[in-house]
Structure 1
Amino acid sequence: MNQRQLLYFLEVYHLKSIKKAATKLIISPQGISKTILALEQELDISLFTRTKNGLEPTKQAMALKPHAEKILEEFSTLQEKSFFTHTKKDFLKILSTPGVLEYLTANFIKDFQTAHPKILLNFTETTDKAAIAELNNGEIDMAILSGTVDTTIFSCQYLFKNYHCFIVSTKNPLAKKEKLSLQDLKNQALILKGREQPFYNTYQNQLIKNGIQPNIILETTVNSIIADIAEQNLAIGGSLDYIAFKNKRPHTVILPMDDIDNVHTVYLAEKYNTTLSPQSLIFKNFLLTWLEKHRSKLFHWNIFTQ
């Protein structure tokens, strides 16, 4: 199968005529017929049936069409000079637990690009489970995680920590408290991040351990929605300190858990006995150095230093 075969196939598919496709492509009808026949023989299927209205695609042709279009689109991208200009940079994929870039701020990316302009950083937020899977399979060199991993397989280096908190409407009587306990959440409607996120389990598991059946009305990954619903007093939102304050609404308060040792810890993980690529090593060293240099300027909740 090649690009020419797929191109001819799609033209016949859309025009329902070999003659019309040949005219458009400025080639002979015989040339298109031979190409379509070769494609059918290669795939061992029939692509068209002849009717009074022209050539009608078979079910197999209908199934092939979206894949053919996608393949030709990729060919087109690869043929563009701008694509190769763009990829002259060294590509580095980093998988991260959600919210890390929000904490590090755009200054981290700006400083990294300034220091290492030849590295194209692909920073993708995902679940810890997905990141660990790629890390374990050797698809990536390292990942930024917040969940529990097998330390017999992975080495972990501390990056930063944040506190779990609650977003409460000022209309809710609990807004008058300085801190909230798990018992305060009994019979309260909750809105939490999706269950694939580590801090979902922090709330869920601890409530159950304390004999409280969580009343979760919504799970979402959209931080602004958590803040909006909390402001309308439809539920108490579970969040992390820096995310909650970034999405602060006028008619809400942000309260810590009474157990301030219950923290969200983020670390850099890599598999033992794995040699980092030059780009990964550069990123690792830059991240650790940058954090130490800028840690005092990053978000910290003053309530815990009083």
Structure 2
Amino acid sequence: MQMRFIESFLTLYDELNISKASLKLFITQQGLSRQINTLEKELDVVLFKRTKTGVEPTVLCNKLYPHLKEMHTNYTQVLQVLEYNKQKERKLISIAFAYGISHGIHTDFIFHYQKDNPDTKIEIQEWSKKVCIEKLMKNEIDIAFLVNPFDIKALNSHVLVEGYMYCALHKDHPLATADPPINFSLLDGETIITGPEENVLRELFDYYCTLTNIHPNILFSSSYSLDIINSMTKNKGIATVTSAMAAYISNPDIKILRLLTPQPGYIYCCTSKDEKNSKSLCKIVKYIKNYFKSTPVLKID
């Protein structure tokens, strides 16, 4: 039983008109009729009766329809699985960064890997941490770069970096003269310049606020906090930054101090526990881990 004949049967059953069904299938009316006749002979049944307006399914045809539809659906799903497997064999790797990760690490290492491995196609995506985890669990992406907190045991999680959180503040701010690291709890009641809520640095900041039971005032929640810092001419508040972000602060009136946080901040490379890792995926994960071992992230004392 050929699957294209079943597809023709299903289309004719839905349209109840040979002319309309053939147009939908991009075949001639004679070709569609031949396929239905062949299917009827193979099954040894009459599926349709001709009417003045088209065709009418027989009683047995109505009984067979849901079974043949299920068969066609299952076949389509098999093709989807095979196509997904072909993509894996073509060494397509989907990598997602949680929003804000690029502010904590430089991502050039991915492009260096792509250059050295032209047979591997890398697709870069960026999502919220929540969406990254959902896509990993559904095997819609291969690798995700995440920052704690999250359920580490639900994924294959490899620590890449233990990073510090820093505060950038104008020299006129009272805390500017403090000796680093300064305790995170000192930010209680302070005016804070930080990223949007789905940004991982902001999520980590909010998490630390919960752990220390402090309540700072969020003045700005923007992806352009560096622009705000570099244009600051007086004390407007404290900005939370990473060491990578700090490297782009050019304002001479800004002091950068490390924060003593209640827990360390970690950047993880994560893969799904359900997915059977391909050779190309194992290779790039190994490369990523070795890269971060040999290329430590800049830290500011």
TM-score normalized by the length of structure 2: 0.61
Q: CA deviation at 1:99?
A: 4.7
Contact 1:163 1:262 in 2 (8 A): no
Hey, what's the Cα distance between the residues in 2 that align with 1:168 and 1:182? Answer: 14
Give 1:218's aligned residue. 220
CA distance in 2, matches of 1:279, 1:166: 40
Relative to 1, partners in 2 of residues 1:294 and 1:185: Cα closer, same or farther, differing over 3 Å? closer
Output aligned runs, 1:92-111, within 5 Å.
92-101=93-102, 104-105=105-106, 107-111=108-112
Please point out which of 236, 239, 242 is paired with 2:241: 239
Which whole-Å CA distance do the structure 2 matches of 1:291 and 1:210 have between them? 30
Matching residue of 1:48: none
> Residues 3-42 of structure 1: matches in 2 within 5 Å?
none
User: In the alignment, which residue of structure 2 is the partner of 1:131?
Assistant: 132
Higher relative contact order (CA 8 A, sep 6+): 2
Look up the SS of the partner of 1:300 in the other structure.
coil
Q: CA deviation at 1:123?
A: 2.3
Counting only pairs closer than 5 Å after superposition, residues 79-228 of structure 1 correspond to structure 2 as 90-101=91-102, 104-105=105-106, 107-179=108-180, 180-207=182-209, 210-228=212-230
Give me the whole-angstrom Cα distance separating, in 2, the residues matched to 1:253 and 1:104.
21
Q: CA–CA distance in 2 between the matches of 1:240 and 1:103? A: 6
Question: Percent sequence identity over matched residues?
Answer: 17
Give the conservation status (yes or no) of the 8 Å contact 1:141–1:277: no
C-alpha contact (below 8 Å) 1:231/1:252 kept by paired residues: no
Indicate the residue corresponding to 2:81 in structure 1: none
Highest CA radius of gyration, 1 or 2? 2
Gaps of 5+ in 1: 1-37, 43-88
Aligned to 2:298: 299
Aligned-partner Cα distance in 2 for 1:235–1:104: 25
Cα distance per residue 1:60-88 (max 9 Å; x no partner): xxxxxxxxxxxxxxxxxxxxxxxxxxxxx
Report deviation, 1:158: 1.1
SS of the residue corresponding to residue 270 of structure 1 reads strand
Q: Is the 8 A contact 1:135 1:141 kept in 2?
A: yes
Give unmatched runs, 5+ long, in structure 2.
1-19, 25-89
Give the Å deviation of 1:192: 1.3
In the superposition, relative to structure 1, how do residues 97 and 232 fare at CA in structure 2: closer, same or farther (>3 Å)?
Answer: farther
Work out whether residues 135 and 143 of structure 1, in 8 Å CA contact, stay in contact via their aligned partners in 2. Answer: yes
CA offset digits 1:20-40 (Å, max 9, x no partner): xxxxxxxxxxxxxxxxxx9xx
TM-superposed deviation, 1:143:
1.1
Return the alpha-carbon distance in structure 1 between the equivalents of residues 137 and 240 of structure 2.
Answer: 31
CA contact (8 A) 1:223 1:247 kept: no
RMSD: 2.9
Cα 1:117/1:294, change in 2 over 3 Å: same
